[in-house]
Structure 1
Amino acid sequence: MSTTIKEIPFWESKSLEQMSRNEWESLCDGCAKCCLHKFIDDEDNDDDSELMPTTYIEEGEQMNYSNIACYLLNDKTCQCTQYDKRTTLVPDCVQLTQDNIDSVFFMPPSCTYRRLKEGRGIPSWHPLLHKGKKSAMHKAGMSVRGKIVKDNEVDLDFFEDYIVLWPLNDID
């Protein structure tokens, strides 16, 4: 009689801090919601500070997601066209790492990094559960595919016209 031992996936057997760089990178579900512009609703902002990047959100402030995405994003594949150079080309692009995950407050609820950090597990549509393919994610409506405009194609002075709720959606 043979006994089959089921291997436990690394995302269930390791903490985010224990993962190798390759394991960490493979957790990215590729939804590209992190490439969306987000705005903090704050009555104290003036015209000069309104569109400035920030590294924090204060109590009482609300973050709004828009359907405006970085110009480097390929809106079909939901991948950055300049991934290795993105933080140089777009200085306020945040590279999510094991060291800064606790301070990255703007990740959407469906983000796999956020889900694992919060103890909610990997989502059923994640590419790691579908042989590396993103089709289940797109079919579930969890990516930005078909929902965005590029930041170099819109006037950011009218960002209020682009505020959307769908990036906050999460399933399972």
Structure 2
Amino acid sequence: MAAQPFWKSKTLLEMSPDEWEALCDGCGKCCLAKLEYEDDDGQPTGIVEFTDIACKLLDGHSCQCKDYDNRFAEVPDCVKVSAKNIDDLYFMPPSCAYRLVSERQDLPWWHPLISGDPETVVTAGFSARGRVVSEEEVTDAEDWPSHIVDWPGRLVPG
């Protein structure tokens, strides 16, 4: 009987740094600006909508961070995804491998660890490649609602 892959045989906390990084499918959707609604008292509701506005550090073609090692200094509100906080990050895309593994779901066929090809996330329609504008191009927050899109929050291509 073949050994199970690391994402099925280990918890997120048990993964090595290399395994953790390999779990990312490179879609870039976590780097999109999100709008969260507030209730009448100004408290967050947990209802989040994605926009097609990307962090200034996201390369819109490769969907990689342009300055990964220094991202927290460059973008103070950048969220470090970890095994300890993934369950609290309700705004992560539903197709995010960290979220899926945390929820004990299988990785989709297009995930590079399954397909063996980092391009399948793009060809399957789950990547931000070519679908985003930089936050540096949308400087007025009043314009953000016009950038709301549903494709990052889908579990089917869109």
Q: Considering the TM-score relative to the shorter chain, is it more than 0.5?
A: yes
Give the equivalent residue in structure 2 for 1:98: 83
- 2:55 equivalent to 1:77: no
Contact residue 33 and residue 167 of structure 1 kept, 8 A: yes
Residue 157 (structure 1) shift: 2.1
- 2:118 equivalent to 1:122: no
C-alpha distance in 2, partners of 1:72/1:107? 18
RMSD: 1.9
Q: 1:13 pairs with 6, 9, 12, which one?
A: 9
- 2:19 equivalent to 1:23: yes
Contact residue 123 and residue 171 of structure 1 kept, 8 A: no
**Greater Rg, structure 1 or structure 2?**
1
Contact residue 72 and residue 80 of structure 1 kept, 8 A: yes
Give the equivalent residue in structure 2 for 1:158: 143
C-alpha distance in 1, partners of 2:64/2:119? 14
Sort the Cα spacing of 1:19 and 1:82 in 2 relative to 1 into closer, same or farther, 3 A.
Answer: same
Q: Deviations over 1:4-32 (max 9, x none)?
A: x4231111111112111111111011111
Secondary structure of the residue aligned to 2:13 is helix
- 2:118 equivalent to 1:134: yes
Secondary structure of the residue aligned to 2:18 is helix
Q: Deviations over 1:126-167 (max 9, x none)?
A: 111233x32111001101011111000113221110001000
Q: Deviations over 1:80-103 (max 9, x none)?
A: 000010111000001111121122
Letter of the 1:144 partner, please give it. Answer: A
Name the count of aligned residue pairs.
156
Query: Structure 1 stretches (4+) deviating beyond 6 angstroms?
Result: none
Contact residue 28 and residue 112 of structure 1 kept, 8 A: yes
- In structure 2, list runs of 5 or more residues that go unmatched: none
C-alpha distance in 2, partners of 1:45/1:107? 25
Range 63-72 or range 14-23, more displaced: 14-23
Sort the Cα spacing of 1:144 and 1:113 in 2 relative to 1 into closer, same or farther, 3 A.
Answer: same
Contact residue 75 and residue 148 of structure 1 kept, 8 A: yes
Letter of the 2:133 partner, please give it. Answer: V
